[in-house]
């Protein structure tokens, strides 16, 4: 989801700074929620076996670790990718 704040007026005089700020915050929240959907999708497959009447602590721990390691993986891959790009650019 993306919002084009330029279509809501505002501009140099900053008269709709309030609306602009509101849209920026809401946009961030929407991004966050979309990210949570994506993580839940991935980690549900890894962590949840048969749904029972409660989310047990083992599953809960697995979900927490899954999210943390997914983010770690993203950072690690991004760093390495960046290094490869830099190396190629240096050649």
Partner 1 sequence: MDSFSSPPSGGKLDSAQRGQIMDQVKTQIALANAQELLQRMTDKCFKKCVNKPGTTLDSSEQKCLAFCMDRYMDAWNTVSRTYNQRLQREHNKM
36 binds partner 1 (CB under 8 A): yes
Q: What is the CA radius of gyration of the chain?
A: 20
Distance between CA atoms of 26 and 16, rounded to whole angstroms? 15
Closest of 3, 61, 63 to residue 36, by C-alpha = 63
Instruction: Give the one residue of 1, 88, 90, 91 binding partner 1; rule: CB under 8 A.
Output: 1
Residues in contact with partner 1 by CB under 8 A are 1, 3, 6-12, 15-16, 18-19, 22-23, 26, 29-30, 32-37, 39-41, 43-45, 47-48, 50-53, 55, 59-60, 63-64, 67-68, 71
């Amino acid at each position: 989801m993306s919002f084009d704040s330029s279509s809501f007026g505002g501009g140099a005089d900053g008269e709709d700074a309030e609306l602009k700020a509101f849209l920026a915050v809401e946009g961030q929240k929407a991004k966050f929620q979309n990210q949570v959907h994506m993580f839940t999708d991935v980690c549900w497959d890894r962590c949840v076996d048969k749904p029972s009447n409660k989310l047990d602590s083992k599953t809960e721990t697995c979900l927490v670790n899954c999210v943390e390691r997914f983010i770690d993986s993203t950072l690690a891959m991004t760093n390495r990718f960046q290094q490869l790009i830099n190396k190629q650019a240096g050649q």
